[in-house]
Amino acid sequence: FRHSQNSRSCLTLKDFSSDEIKRLLWVSGDLKHRIKHEKQYLPLLQGKSVAMIFEKRSTRTRMSTETGFALLGGHPCFLTSQDIHLGVNESCTDTARVLSGLCDIVLARVYSHSTLEELEKEASIPIINGLSDLYHPIQILADFLTLQERYGSLTGLTVSWIGDGNNVLHSFMMTAAKLGVHLRIATPKGYEPEQSIIHEAQKLSKQHGTQLVLTSDPMEAAHGSNVLVTDTWVSMGQEDEKKKRLKDFRGYQITMQTGSMAKPDWTFLHCLPRKMEEVDDHVFYSSRSLVFPEAENRKWTIMGLMVSVLTDYAPQTPLMKF
**DSSP H/E element including 107:** strand 105-109
Catalytic residue, from 10, 92, 103, 271: name it: 271
Strand order in the sheet with 127-131: 75-80, 49-54, 105-109, 127-131
**Residue 268: strand pairing partners:** 228, 289
| Distances 38 to 20, 31, 309, 317 between C-alpha atoms, Å | 26, 10, 24, 12
Question: What's the farthest any 2 CA atoms get from each other in the chain?
Answer: 55
What's the rounded Cα separation, in Å, for the pair 268 and 291? 7
Burial classification of residue 293, based on how many CB atoms lie within 10 Å of its CB (0-12 exposed, 13-18 middle, 19 or more buried): middle
How many other CB atoms are found less than 10 A from the CB of residue 213? Answer: 15
* Helix (H), strand (E) at residue 67: helix 60-71
Known catalytic residue at 77? no
How far from chain centre, in Å, is Cα 11?
11
The amino acid at 79: L
Catalytically annotated residues:
271
